[in-house]
Amino acid sequence: MRKVNVFDTTLRDGEQAPGVNFNFDEKMQIASQLERLGVDIIEAGFPASSNGSFESVKNIADTVKGSSVTGLSRTVTKDIDTAWEALKGGEEPRLHIFIGTSPIHMEHKLRMTPEQVIENSVEAVKHAKKKFPHVQWSAEDACRSDLDFLVKIIEKVIDAGAEVINLPDTVGYVTQDEIRRLFRYIKENVPNSDKAILSTHCHDDLGMATANSLAALEAGAGQVEGTINGIGERAGNASLEEIAVALKIRNDYYKAETGLTLNEIKRTSTMISKLSGMMVPSNKAVVGDNAFAHESGIHQDGVLKNSSTYEIITPDLVGVNANRMVLGKLSGLHAFKNKIESLGYQASEEELKKVFKEFKSLADKKSEITDEDIMALMSEEKAGESVSYYEVQTLQVNYGTTNIPTATVTLKNPDGETIQDAATGSGSVEAVYQTIERMIGGHADLKDYRIQSITGGRDALAEVYVLMDYEGEEVSGRGTANDVLEASARAYINAINRALNYQDGRDLQAEKVNV
């Protein structure tokens, strides 16, 4: 069975999805989970793009040991040198250099001739090789590039030291047949192609990213790139979980496998969904809530008789329902600590005590606390970590179908004082948000508000995600509570706290720069 390397770019290309902005702690949390999942390479960011990106790439490179950490770079000496400073502490420093190679990109974006693109790439790879043991070079928009130009430039960058050649379908344009032909052509016509691994990186504009990635693997690619849940710019990237599971289930056909720990997939997907605020559609392959649900009587009957009648993937394979030890109000701190560690979280004593208190108060209201509830509590704790300017203390909302909704909110302000105010709105959530805005000052423009329940049941936790523009900062926030209005207030405060944090320069992640 051929081993395919998995290159995860959730933290770089995935973060380019509109409205997604992971903070420093969240990036670290995601990188640790990707390491547990067993990805070979983590693209942690674009170090030269901002101080925030530099710091988080450095932190990830210095900490993660089980996966190789890489960062993106243009064919620019300053980018390469900055990336080295961020990545040099890693176990296996790796650089990812990219430049556009299609006529459209060279002419209109780069304003460079094909010869200049070759020269730039060769110089950049040579410079990178003086520092990095591993260098990957990407031909951005490769799938709309001239084949013979690709052959020429690839031969030269391999000679210069690139050991991975990535051929992205940057705009999600190709068909399976075309991508197969591209990979075969490069393999057969680049004289030194045996000295490099070919990599595939597909976008999902036409809904073909998974199929195209698999087609490229069939044609000899040795590395596949993508993101968890397929998050990314526009329609997103190829979903790594879909590709890994397709290779597993159809190994009779593809005769290739990844090194992923497949039963970490569901947990990774849930984490990315929570931290990105991008909910996973119920019908999404592999990780959607309905992926293993059988509704029709005929299907249910078949599955009960023999699950293989309608189920090609077992829930256990991807970690659905795995280790679902339910906690309740009698569970103690020890069991709780074990549970959060088994879910992949590291918590300080102080965090542990705080979340345990939240857990106890939830257990008074909800009979069974599931893994997902605990992940929600933990991720809210992590979301608030180092960003606690304001805190919601109490909330009272007066709503009736015929009166004007009024909210009274008590907050703890950054000086530790308790402040209180009340305001009205056209609905309960608006009343809460008007009140908070008046108390804090500044203008918050709410761009998105989403609510979902964690697990089923009438006593389920509510999780609210907001995206807002607060005083020129685009920020997201999350809040979890038994009550939807309390969750809404917490999400709003969390977003404002993050914006204030960015303004103070305590978290540099606000400077998100898309490639």
Q: Which residues are annotated as a binding site for Mn(2+)?
A: 13, 201, 203, 237
Q: Using an 8 Å Cβ cutoff, are 32 and 11 in contact?
A: no
Q: Which is nearer to Zn ion, 13 or 437 (CB)?
A: 13
- 213: partner contacted, choices ligand KIV, Zn ion, none (Cβ within 5-8 A by kind): none
Please report how the helices 371-384 and 265-276 are oriented relative to each other, as an axis angle in degrees rounded to 10: 40
SS3 (DSSP) at 123: helix
Distance CA 79, CA 95 (A): 10
C-alpha pair distances (Å), 200 with each of 6, 101, 160, 258: 10, 15, 21, 14
Structure tokens at 325: 């030890």
Q: Which is nearer to ligand KIV, 104 or 404 (CB)?
A: 104
Q: CA–CA separation, 112 vs 99, rounded Å?
A: 11
Q: Strand 444-454 relative to strand 391-398: parallel, antiparallel, unpaired?
A: unpaired
Q: What per-residue string of b and e applies to 264-302 under the rule 16 or more CB within 10 Å gives b?
A: bbbbbbbbbbbbbbbebeeebebbeeebbebeeeeeeeb
Nearer to ligand KIV (CB atom), residue 52 or residue 168: 168
Q: How far is the CB of 169 from ligand KIV (least distance, A)?
A: 7
Nearest distance in Å: CB 168, Zn ion: 6
State in angstroms the smallest separation of the CB of 223 from ligand KIV.
12
Select from 9-17, 142-150, 347-355, 418-426 the region that touches Zn ion (CB under 5 A).
9-17
Looking at 1-146, which runs of residues are DSSP E strands? 2-3, 5-8, 41-43, 68-73, 94-100, 134-140
The entry of ligand KIV, Zn ion, none near residue 140 (CB within 5 to 8 angstroms by kind) is ligand KIV
Chain residues binding ligand KIV by CB under 6 A are 13, 98, 138, 140, 166, 168, 170, 201, 203, 515
Kindly tell me which of 229 and 480 has the beta carbon lying closer to ligand KIV.
229
Q: How far is the CB of 8 from ligand KIV (least distance, A)?
A: 13
**Smallest distance, Å, CB 13 to Zn ion?**
4
Measured from the CB atom, the residue of 199 and 434 that comes closer to ligand KIV is 199
Q: How far is the CB of 224 from Zn ion (least distance, A)?
A: 13
Q: Which is nearer to ligand KIV, 67 or 102 (CB)?
A: 102
The nearest distance, CB 237 to Zn ion, in angstroms, is 6
Give the three-class secondary structure for 71. strand
- Three-state DSSP at 33 gives helix
Burial class from Cβ neighbours inside 10 Å (0-12, 13-18, 19+) for residue 194 reads exposed
Residue 57 · residue 25 · CB < 8 Å: no
Which residues sit in the known binding site?
Answer: 13, 201, 203, 237
Structure tokens at 203: 């976008």
Residue 27's binding partner among Zn ion, ligand KIV, none (Cβ under 5 to 8 angstroms by kind) is none
Residue nearest to Zn ion (CB): 13
Looking at the Cβ atoms of 74 and 490, the one nearer to ligand KIV is: 74
Q: Which 10-39 positions form the footprint of Zn ion (CB under 5 A)?
A: 13
Given Zn ion, ligand KIV, none, residue 515, with its beta carbon under 5 to 8 Å by kind, binds ligand KIV
Strand partners, 469: 445, 474
Instruction: Please give the residue ranges that form the binding site for Zn ion (CB under 5 A).
Output: 13
